[in-house]
Amino acid sequence: MRKLTYFVACSIDGFIGDPGGDASSMFTFLDEEFLGYLTSAYPETIAAQARQPLGVENAENRHFDTMIQGRGSYQLALDIGVTSPYGHLRQYVASRSLGTSPDPAVTLIDGDLVAAVRELKAEDSELGIWLCGGSRLAGELVDEIDELVIKTYPQVYGSGMPMFGSGFAVTDFVLESVRTFGNGVLVRTYGRKR
């Protein structure tokens, strides 16, 4: 069975964006060392419009061949005229409001989200599924998440969009690794405690 990995950026206090969902303040930490790590370790998480400038337009997918995101995350791409932000992956958008997909490379999930993710996880593939965001989607899928890869930026938001927009439920994960960078960013990887 394939893994569902929530690969996400957040502040020290666990927010993935401000109250409106904006996380652009985190972009200031994309220095040479950290960006080098992302482009070599997780090239498939680089959006289409940045792949060529960063020299990863032909990079092989290392961890994921499929991604799923919520309507709010997808809207960020639509707002800049990009309908297929991760064309090098199979793209799914969970949305009950879009109606039809604006791009043939993007499949909408407007029904049972958990069932759809379970079908994707049951597929035969060496690569996993990237849960790209956002908060409510992660909250709905918390019981399906097998791995967390959390890019923690040295900022405190105080309030905003939490990593998991869900009700209170304790879910245990086990720390597998921590990578530190000179700019203060940490990348922590956790596996679901079985």
- Which of 45, 49, 98, 47 lies closest to 70, judged by CA? 98
53 located within any domain: yes
What letters, b where the CB count within 10 A reaches 16 and e where it falls short, cover 49-87? eebeebebeebebebbbbbbbbbbbbbbbeeeebbbbbe
Q: Strands 4-11 and 147-153, how do they pair? A: parallel
Q: Residue 148: inside a domain, yes or no?
A: yes
The structure's pTM equals 0.96
Q: How many CB atoms lie within 10 A of CB 36?
A: 12
| Residue 155 covered by a domain | yes
Task: Count the domains in the chain.
Answer: 1
Q: What percentage of the chain has pLDDT greater than the value 90?
A: 91
Query: What is the strand order of the sheet 173-180 is part of?
Result: 106-109, 90-94, 64-70, 128-133, 4-11, 147-153, 186-192, 173-180
Task: Assess if residue 112 is contained within a domain.
Answer: yes
State the residue range of the domain holding 39: 6-192
- Are 46 and 71 spatial neighbours (Cβ–Cβ below 8 Å)? no
The enclosing domain of 73 has a CATH number of 3.40.430.10
Assigned domain for 61 exists: yes
pLDDT bin (cut points 50, 70, 90) of residue 20 is confident
With respect to residue 30, please indicate whether it lies within any of the assigned structural domains.
Answer: yes
What backbone torsions phi and psi does residue 131 show, to the nearest 5 degrees?
-85, 105
User: According to the model, what pLDDT value does residue 194 have?
Assistant: 86
Tens digit of each residue's pLDDT (9 = 90 or more) over 32-43? 999 999 999 999
- Is residue 1 included in any domain, yes or no? no
151-170 tens-digit pLDDT: 999 999 999 999 999 888 88
Average pLDDT for the chain: 95
CB within 8 Å of 5: residues ≥ 6 apart:
63, 64, 128, 129, 130, 131, 145, 146, 147, 148, 149
| Cβ proximity of 108 and 100 under 8 Å | yes
DSSP 26-55: GGGG--HHHHHHHHHH-GGGS-HHHHTTTT
pLDDT at 71: 92
Q: What is the pLDDT of residue 18?
A: 92
